[in-house]
Structures are given as structure tokens and as C-alpha cells.
Chain A
Amino acid sequence: MAINKDQIYIDKVIGGDLSAYTYLVDKHKDMAFSVALRIVRNYEDAEEIVQDAFVKAYQNMEAFRNKSKFSTWLYRIVFNAAVSRTRKKRLESTDLDGFVVDNYTTDEIKENVNKLDFDERKNLANKLINELPPLEYTLINLFYREECSIEEISEITGLSVSNVKVKLHRIRKKLYSELQKILDKELNTIYS
């Protein structure tokens, strides 16, 4: 189990085995960096934020011990640092309420997407995910990729549990709506 494996390495680091920290950095750097980059939109700034977060996490490792998942703690440091750096910018630039899937059922969309080959699906997914605003991108990645619980996402982002639930629901609807738009466009291109 991933949590236990992190804990094993955390114990090693606390015990003085510095090299064990490499495992934690390698494991979590991409997610942390993606979140930071999406928020600050600058490669160097994002790297600096994540690097500082790893150092800060190391310095406070003893205090952190067993309080929560290492990833939850690290992402919260990264998220807060990135948001602080872009304090004046709005995290949410898109109104989620405008997206409602009316015309197609989930099964229809799923069927259409599954007809695409792997590369096409991958491109489609990348396009969709990359177009999400920073907060939505963070929420969706934490929930689906990192498999964080609603409570953990709430801890990382500072949003209330109910707010996280509502936002995830809306993002899901929005993704389906966007998927269908892209698929319609593809079909129109093929048949026109």
C-alpha cells in the first residue's frame, strides 16, 4: 500500500538515512510540480516552489510524523505557496455553472470516446485536462489520479468538504460537456 511505503521511507529519513528522501521526491515531484505550474504558469517559479516545499517538508519531518499522508501534507505546502505567489490572480477563470450535459447520456459519450484509438483518446484527454482552470485541474488530478479522499482534498486546498464535492460534480459534468463538443466537431469534420 502506497501510504505504508511512504511511511517506511519517512521513518528511514527520520532515522538519519538521507538517501531515503530521494524516493519521496521522485514519487511526488511530478504531481506537485504540475499543480504548482498550473497555478503560477511559470516553469522556474513552479520548480522553485516545489523545491522549497520538499526542503520544508524535510525540515519538519519529525513534527509531521503520522499526522496525515505525506502527499497530502506536501501538496498543501505546494498549493499554498503557489497560491500565495499568485495572490492577485483568480484561480477560477471559468464559470462551472454554464456547463450542463443535456443532449447525451453518459453511455453515449463513453461509447463514442471508446471508439477512438489510444493515441486519439490520449490527445483528447490531454486537451480537456490542460484546458481546465488551475483549481479544477488540481481537484480533478488529486481525486482521480492521486485517489485522494474528499477530506484530504479539503485539507490540501482549504476548501470545505461540501465545496469540494460540489466542485468535483460540476467538473465531471463540464468534462462530459467538453468531450461531447469535441466529438461532435470530429464527426462533423469526418462527414462534411
Chain B
Amino acid sequence: MNSNNMTQDDFIKKLIGETKLESPSIDFTQRVMTDIENLSREPVSITDFIISKIWYLILAVMIVVVIAGVLYFTPGSRELILREYRPLLFDLPQIVINNFRNLFSSVKISSVTVVILISIASIFAADRFVRKPGRRSFMF
């Protein structure tokens, strides 16, 4: 920048410094702050965090692992599966109930309880796959 431009710059800067900017209304700052306070007061959706998709996935995997574990590790389960196995009509509930009976024979768990547990797991699974994306779960 040459000296003439620098002189012009200083002069215009001085001139502009003598002008006034436009100002918004007196309560402008207050209105902005009210907007911001309202924003910061909006509740954080904890429910969405708890019932996120990943939790459904974890729950589903856990159920599958538990059922597979019961079927595989219970004494005599493999024989029972092979005996009861029918390629076209697989009587899974009977096998599961029998195995649960064997596994928890000391605590006398009833087949009704097992059915209830499976029902709850089914509801979770149905909720996960049936509900539309973005809608809140009917479970909560």
C-alpha cells in the first residue's frame, strides 16, 4: 500500500469513526437471552438414549445366547434335540421347556415362567422390528 493510500485509509477510518451504526430495539439483548435460556432449558431426551437401537440389538443377542447356551450345555440336550428333531416340524418350545426343567429342577421353575420370559423377549423383538423409525417405543 503506498503512502497516498495509507493517508486515504486513515482519513476514511477517522470519518467512519465519526458515524453511528444503526441499533436494534432496546430490549434486543434481553430477547436474545430469553431465546437462549429457553433453548438451554429444553429437556434432554434420556429415554431415547436408553431405548436406542443398540440396546435392542444387545438384548436380542443376549436372548439368543441364553437359549443357545441352555440347548447346548444342558446334559442330554443334544440327544433330546436329535430325538425330537423333525426337519419340517421342529418342536422347539417343548425342547426349551424340557431343558429349562432339567436346568432349573432344583428351583422348580415352571413352564409358565419360561413362556412369560419368552413372551417378553418376543414383545421386545416385535417392538424393535414393527415400530416405525423415529417413533417412540410403546414399551416405554
Contact = CB atoms under 8 A, between A and B. Distances in A.
Interface in B1-39: 4-5, 7-9, 11-13, 15-25, 28-29, 31-33, 35-37, 39
A129 B33 CA distance: 31
Given A25-B33, A47-B28, A110 B19 contact: no
B28 A129 contact: no
B40 interface: yes
Interface centre among B11, B35, B39 (most CB of A within 10 A): B11
Contacts of A31: 21
Nearest to A59: B39
A126 interface: yes
A70 interface: no
A33 interface: yes
Nearest to A168: B9
A107 B13 CA distance: 15
A106 B21 contact: no
B32 A51 contact: yes
A125 B24 contact: no
Contact of B24 (A29, A106, A169): A29
B24 A47 contact: yes
Contacts of B20: 126
A102 interface: no
Given A22-B29, A29-B23, A47-B28, A140 B18 contact: no
B22 A33 contact: yes
A102 B63 CA distance: 88
A31 B28 CA distance: 14
A139 to B, nearest CB: 11
A106 B15 contact: no
26 contacts: A18-B33, A21-B32, A21-B33, A25-B32, A25-B33, A26-B29, A29-B24, A30-B21, A30-B22, A30-B23, A30-B24, A33-B24, A34-B21, A37-B22, A50-B28, A51-B28, A54-B36, A58-B36, A58-B39, A59-B39, A110-B7, A113-B11, A129-B19, A141-B16, A169-B5, A172-B9
Interface of B: 4-5, 7-9, 11-13, 15-25, 28-29, 31-33, 35-37, 39-40
Closest 8 CB pairs of A and B: A30-B21, A34-B22, A125-B15, A34-B21, A144-B13, A144-B16, A33-B24, A122-B18
